[in-house]
Chain A
Amino acid sequence: MSSPHSFPIMTRRQALIAGGALVVTCLVRTPANAAIDSGKPALTPSELDSWVAVKPDGSVIGYFGKVDIGLGIQVAIAQIIADELDVAFDQVSIVMGDTAMTINQGGASGSTGLELGSVPLRNAAAHARHILLGMAAEKLASPIDMLDVTDGVVSVRGTLGHHAEERGVSYGELIGGRYFDVQLQWNGKIGNDVAVIGTAQPKSHGQYRVVGKSVPRADIRDKLLAKEIYNTDIRVPGMLHGRMIRPPVAGAVPVKVHEAAIAHLPDVQVIWRRGLLGVVAAKEWHAVKAARELRVEWSSPAAAFPPQEALYDAIESAPPVASGGAAPVGDIQGALARAGKVVSATYYWPFQSHASMGPACALADVQADHATIWTGDQKPHYIRDGVAAFLGLPPEKVHGIWLRGPGSYGRNDGGDAALDAAYLSKAVGKPVRVQGMRADGIAWDPKGPASVHRVSAGLDASGEVIALRFRSKAFSRENIASHPDDPTQSLAGQLTGLPIKTKHAFDVPEEGYDFANHDLGWEVVPPLLERASPLRTSHLRDPLGPQLNFASESFIDELAFATGTDPVEFRLRYLKDERGIAVIKAAAEHAKWKPHTAGGNAAGDSADPVVVGRGIAFARRKNTRVAVIVEVEVNRRTGRIWPRQWTVAHDCGLIVNPDNLRRVIEGNILHATSRALFEEVRFNPQTVTSVDWLSYPILEMRDAPEKIEIVLIDHPDELPLGAGEPSTRPVAAAIANAVFDATGARLRQAPLCAERVKAAFLQFEG
């Protein structure tokens, strides 16, 4: 049984000199002993020591300023470092996300973990090898170009192992436990864009030994054996438990609080400032009960939201506050005017919740002039900055410690939990751990935005598409910024009266079909409630990708059939991007796609309510390309859609870890299937009514597919691109296209839930 305070406190210095393998999740440190971490080069990107360290036993630490939200990126980072340094994979451990030990690399963000995040580590490791070879050359009295490195032991070529005196010299002997104190060239940026480069050339494909191998994740074993320490598991001496009490009506604030209602609970304090109300107790269960039982009189604001069924009318009739898009190509108006036929369709996407597996948790210890925040958020450096700003402390006086939390997939409730914990800890003068209840993670997280997409295309007499117009009208992608570094972007900030700042932005489809005239644009409408809205928007996995692709790739299918063309052939005809063409061809070939030019063939006059069909969709996300083909079973009586078999063709540049990539793609397909078929945040004019897994259903095992077959297209001579989100993108459109193939009915509103499917097939009722 683990002791409550058994987490070793460790500094960079201690990490460097500690013997044995480093257990990265145990690197917990408090400001109290920060002072002993002296004599080290400053933690800035230009210091090589900020990225890699060699311990006395020759093992290597990589300091990664992003974090693993569950996809296992630390393995790929370690593989890259192992190859650049010529050490064995098992000699590398990765420290992630601790603000006192790692550079702010932007946190988990936009599938950039490998594409951007690995670059400084690759370059730093290559430079470290170069420095170490220089040291070894001196020690072994040999020219550098005569040296080999095997598992971190440098030797003169051809001599290793022949005689004891010719055994070579290990990295541990050369620099173990000491700092390099060497400078790299830094581009001056921080966050996702931070880059450093040394004078050494990183390796090329032919020199990779570990990159490209399916090395397993050590953390999976730890998790199965109950060894993983999540951020929810941290306890510190004197720690209290907090719970927040959110308004029962959106926009309401507490007017009167009756503490007598919880007087029977021991050691409970009520903390209340303007709209922000919480309770703190010595025992977690007492905090839960106090939050439930505290009697609060709330203000009665006007209803903030339209009835749910009027949401899309509200979007369409709202005056836009911002607009934008891609530069139009050609003359869209003229081309549509002269088109022999115009095809139009409108698509709808709902608000969706992160609904993370556990409600967010944070532990804050706020002292007079410094603070420590333990967080599972995917952007711990920005959490540090946000907590510092909220408390009025300089960022360097706040230590952010990251441990794994429930997979977050965007700006979930983690940013709010951190400031709530800081607020409560400051108020009571003790460390406070806050974990939300289920509703905090579903009703009160920032949401993926609802949207309406109007698409039109003009066809000439020969059936050629001469114009495409794509217009989204939607809530902004970021009422709340994706980085949690600004307290105005949090519930705690907004409920205590900080000014409201909101960004008005949306996006356009990225697939890039080459129609002669095209115009892709968007308009953003104002938020329904400005302050502390449970429908405020922010980034949710592949922000805007699923909704834009659902509209654009459904419409491409509609256009294919309108022109009597097979959907695969149609895409290949208008796509000029070679790598896009390659994934579509690979998927079609692997799935043995049968060309067809009309939907609903399977349905015919069949009296059997169950019909089967196949659909394709293509997605480009930055430079990653994905094509998916899905076979669905549609029950026209029950309305159930079951995506039974998937084929995914995936190109994300260099593949670092094929098996892990396959699992990441599977996770994308499942998560996106859940969003496509089931997920819609419910609300009434007063508030959000999706508060748990019954009112916000997600995919369960019965709906998991039978099979997902994956074709990986490797580009070994390139660098890795993103894979954490791109295969989320085409899922909804592929399913809708398959439903059309099966039934002849086109579903244009997500989620493609049973009620909507049943409504399309009334003849099968009863």
Chain B
Amino acid sequence: MGTRSGGPSLKLRLHVDGKSLSVAVDDANTPLLYVLRDELKLNNPHFGCGLAQCGACMVLLDGTPRRSCVLPVSQVRDSKITTLEGLGTPDKPHPVQQAFIDEQAFFCGYCLNGWVMTAAALVKKHPRATDEQIREAFAGLKCRCGAHMSILRAVKRLTEVA
């Protein structure tokens, strides 16, 4: 049996959703996703593929959407990490969250971190993004339930405001 009990060897300070948190891991290459979920008990980024192919684990790293399943935790210690939970609050949801709620977007919702985080970065950079720009921004994201139409409508609630 491989039963070596090894203590964490690497202490890190992470900046997550406006809080400064310390974590200890024994492997500097541990993907951020596992640190968020298993050490910090933040459930909202989901494991979808572990291969940066779907977006279910998406977080914002200094405002840029990044797939936490392939991001070594040692590379993010100086960055501001924003998860879905830190995007807005129940009292004051981020406009993207509110647009998706208003549009009743998604079915199971397991994929939504990818779409919401990407949309948040998109509308910040391109507040009047065209249909083509929206589709391009979402390249590489997966939604198995087929919520694409409601996702497009939700984003266009923000980009097509008169």
Which residues does A use to contact B, with CB under 8 Å? 1-4, 69-72, 216-217, 219-221, 223-230, 232-233, 235, 259-260, 262-270, 283-285, 288-290, 355-359, 404-407, 409, 435, 437-438, 659-660, 663, 666-671, 673-674, 692-694, 698-702, 704-705, 708
Contact = CB atoms under 8 A, between A and B. Distances in A.
Contacts of B47: 232, 358-359, 435
Contacts of A226: 43-44, 83-85
B102 to A, nearest CB: 9
Contact of B145 (A70, A289, A435, A705): A70
A232 B112 contact: no
A407 B2 contact: no
B139 A701 contact: yes
Contacts of A290: 2
Task: Enumerate the 5 nearest inter-chain pairs by beta-carbon distance, A residue then B residue, closest first.
Answer: A670-B146, A70-B108, A70-B107, A223-B109, A407-B108
B30 interface: yes
Interface string B1-32: 11111100000000000010000001100110
Contact of A270 (B1, B6, B108, B141): B1
B150 to A, nearest CB: 6
Given A230-B46, A693-B51, A670 B4 contact: no
A701 B138 contact: yes
22 contacts: A70-B106, A220-B100, A220-B101, A220-B105, A221-B101, A223-B112, A224-B97, A224-B101, A225-B97, A266-B3, A266-B6, A267-B4, A283-B38, A288-B50, A357-B143, A409-B145, A437-B50, A438-B53, A663-B150, A670-B146, A704-B135, A705-B149
A700 B138 contact: yes
Nearest to A406: B110
Contacts of B51: 438, 692-693
Nearest to A269: B1
Contact of A1 (B2, B30, B40): B40
Contacts of B79: none
A69 B2 contact: no
Given A693-B49, A693-B54, 17 more contacts: A4-B41, A225-B85, A225-B89, A235-B41, A267-B4, A268-B1, A284-B38, A290-B2, A407-B107, A407-B110, A435-B47, A698-B144, A701-B135, A701-B148, A701-B152, A704-B135, A704-B152
B111 to A, nearest CB: 5
Counting chain A CB atoms within 10 Å of each CB, the highest count among B47, B89, B105 belongs to B47
B145 A671 contact: yes
Nearest to A219: B109
Contact of A406 (B34, B42, B108): B108
B54 A268 contact: no
Interface residues of B, number: 66
Nearest to B154: A224
B81 interface: no
B41 A357 contact: no
B162 to A, nearest CB: 21
B48 interface: yes
Contacts of B34: 283-285, 288
A666 B150 contact: yes
Given A221-B101, A692-B49, A693-B53, A2 B43 contact: yes
A364 B122 CA distance: 41
B40 to A, nearest CB: 7
Contacts of A355: 144
Contacts of B85: 1, 225-226
B109 A228 contact: yes
Contacts of B3: 266-269
Counting chain A CB atoms within 10 Å of each CB, the highest count among B3, B42, B105 belongs to B3
Contact of B141 (A233, A673, A700): A700
Contact of B144 (A2, A220, A356, A668): A356
B46 A2 contact: no
Contacts of A264: 2, 4, 6
B152 A357 contact: no
Contacts of A233: 43
A673 B144 CA distance: 11
B56 interface: yes
Contact of A357 (B48, B88, B90, B148): B48
B107 A285 contact: no
Contacts of A708: 149
Contacts of A263: 2, 4
A625 B134 CA distance: 34
A2 B2 contact: no
A177 B110 CA distance: 35
Contacts of B135: 701-702, 704
A233 B151 CA distance: 24
Contacts of A437: 50
A642 B110 CA distance: 26
A285 B37 CA distance: 11
Counting chain B CB atoms within 10 Å of each CB, the highest count among A220, A266, A288, A437 belongs to A220
B147 interface: yes
B130 interface: no
Contact of B88 (A225, A266, A701): A225
Nearest to B113: A226
B116 A224 contact: yes
A639 B26 CA distance: 49
Contacts of B151: 701
A153 B63 CA distance: 51
A708 B138 CA distance: 20
A668 B144 CA distance: 10
Given A226-B44, A269-B1, A659 B143 contact: no
Given A266-B26, A435-B47, A704-B152, A284 B144 contact: no
Contacts of A699: 146, 148
A230 B90 contact: no
B119 to A, nearest CB: 11
B142 interface: yes
A712 B143 CA distance: 25
A72 B101 CA distance: 14
B104 A663 contact: yes
Interface string B119-162: 00000000000000011101111111111111110000000000
Contacts of B90: 225, 227
Nearest to A271: B1
A220 to B, nearest CB: 5
Contacts of A223: 106, 109, 112
A266 B144 contact: no
B149 A358 contact: no
Contacts of A262: 2
Nearest to B143: A357
Contacts of B6: 264-266
B108 A232 contact: no
B144 A407 contact: yes
A459 B97 CA distance: 58
Contacts of B149: 663, 666, 670, 704-705, 708
A259 B2 CA distance: 6
A409 B143 CA distance: 13
Contact of A667 (B19, B83, B147): B147
B124 to A, nearest CB: 18
Given A269-B3, A407-B108, A671 B38 contact: no
Nearest to B97: A224
A172 B48 CA distance: 44
Contacts of A673: 146
B97 A220 contact: no
Nearest to A704: B148
A72 B107 contact: yes
